[in-house]
Amino acid sequence: MSRRKKLAFSLGVLLVLLAIVEGVCRVAVDRRILGVVEMPREGGWVKADDRVGFVLVPGDYDGTHVNRIGLRGPEVETEKKPGCRRILMLGGSTTYGNTVKTEDAYPAVVQRSLTAGQPGACVEVINAGISGAHSGHQLARYRHIYSALKPDVVTLYVAWNDIGLWLWTMDDWKPDSLAAESLVIDMGDTQMALLRASKALHVGYTVTKGAQFRWNLSRVARSADPAAALAKPMSAMKQHLAELIDLARADGARVVLIKFPFVLDDTRAPQDARELERMPGAERFRSMLPLVSFSPSVPVIVAGIYDELARQPGVTTVDCAAAFRKLPLERRMSMFDDVIHPNAEGYRELGTCVAGALRTGDAPAP
């Protein structure tokens, strides 16, 4: 066989192998990991946006309504009804409530709690949670979308996505990037087209990014001082929140920072993590457990930042981790779908806590 024929044969074999890999990825692999790295698609419910990174496309998706301004829940008019109190609740998937129905997410619980027994009360709670959105997204979204709504109260429940994006990108991390963890929105047209065209490339990209995330997370978990290891993303988050608070206060809104719960006791996370591993039902928590099992825990680090930001008029905190902290670990496990996302029961507890703070007019001091 001539050299040219050998080369042609080798290329043919390579193409066949690539076709087999592509076929296997399309049929058996890609669907299983699609949720790890998602891409905006034509006709999908997420699209890239130059101002705020990405937005949800208005419409109805598997029983979830996305309104005209790209938020989960009923339609919202720009102008408030006279005498109506408007509460804007900012956050990521834990505010959006991506593991529960719209009516079970904590903003809906707050809405019902604040109007219960008061048929004449006008309270409008807006769920502005966006899965994957970090503090930089929240700042951009408030500036370009939410400020026009002129809320009376703005609540904030953020941090997990700030840390997630930093772990996802670490060496290439940019504090003001509007990229999102697990959502490809900042690639060039050529790279995006290749990822969309080839499931094999999509799988390879996903596996690589997942391995990078786990390696970076292990570095933080092994660190002698996790708070210092997370200083970069936490410093950027603090700056974003400070700017957002200034914008909200300029609009006349009061700001409430929610100290959030997770399945572990935030004051003894490593001990709780070891105990959880030995308990029945631990499987659903295992994949995300490394993200929360070091000390000081993320909620403790974030609570300190919230306390600093609350040293100004019109900004308060509410400690909703406390109500969960006093419960036995087994009880807390029954209130979460994974380590950071409450289930419907957990959201009822969280919503009741937030509503209590809002009902009094001023959130209690930490």
pLDDT value at residue 23: 60
98 domain residue, yes or no: yes
240 phi/psi in degrees, rounded to 5: -60, -45
Query: What residues make up the domain containing 181?
Result: 84-359
For residues 215 and 138, membership in a common domain is answered with yes
73 domain residue, yes or no: no
Radius of gyration of the chain (CA): 22
For residues 123 and 7, membership in a common domain is answered with no
Residues 59, 152: Cα–Cα separation, whole Å: 27
Question: Amino acid identity of 339?
Answer: V
Q: What is the pLDDT along the chain (366 residues), one digit of tens a residue?
A: 677 765 665 666 566 565 655 565 454 454 554 454 565 666 678 888 889 999 999 999 888 999 999 999 999 999 999 999 999 999 999 999 988 999 999 999 999 999 987 878 899 999 999 998 999 999 999 999 999 999 999 999 999 999 999 998 888 888 998 887 666 666 667 777 777 777 777 777 777 777 888 888 888 988 989 999 999 999 999 999 999 999 999 999 999 999 999 999 989 999 999 999 999 989 999 888 988 999 999 999 999 999 999 999 999 999 999 999 999 999 999 999 999 999 999 999 999 999 999 986 544 333
For residues 276 and 350, membership in a common domain is answered with yes
Do 300 and 322 contact (CB within 8 A), yes or no?
Answer: no
For residues 3 and 123, membership in a common domain is answered with no
pLDDT value at residue 364: 37
Q: How many CA atoms lie within 13 Å of 287's alpha carbon, on the beta-carbon side?
A: 7
Q: At what angle do helices 160-169 and 231-250 cross, to 10 degrees?
A: 140
Residues 56, 40: Cα–Cα separation, whole Å: 10
55 domain residue, yes or no: no
Element of type H or E holding 283? helix 283-286
- Bridge partner list, 55: 47
- Name the pTM for this structure: 0.88
Residues 359, 202: Cα–Cα separation, whole Å: 48
* pLDDT tens digit sequence for 145-200: 999 999 999 999 999 999 999 998 888 888 998 887 666 666 667 777 777 777 77
77 domain residue, yes or no: no
211 domain residue, yes or no: yes
72 domain residue, yes or no: no
For residues 19 and 92, membership in a common domain is answered with no
For residues 166 and 231, membership in a common domain is answered with yes
365 domain residue, yes or no: no
52 domain residue, yes or no: no
Q: Which two tokens stand for residue 344?
A: 């419907």
- CA dist 13 to 10, 16, 168, Å? 5, 5, 35
For 244, residues 6+ apart whose C-beta sits below 8 A from its C-beta are 90, 135, 138, 139, 142, 154, 156
Total structural domains within the chain: 2
* pLDDT tens digit sequence for 237-264: 999 999 999 999 999 999 999 999 999 9
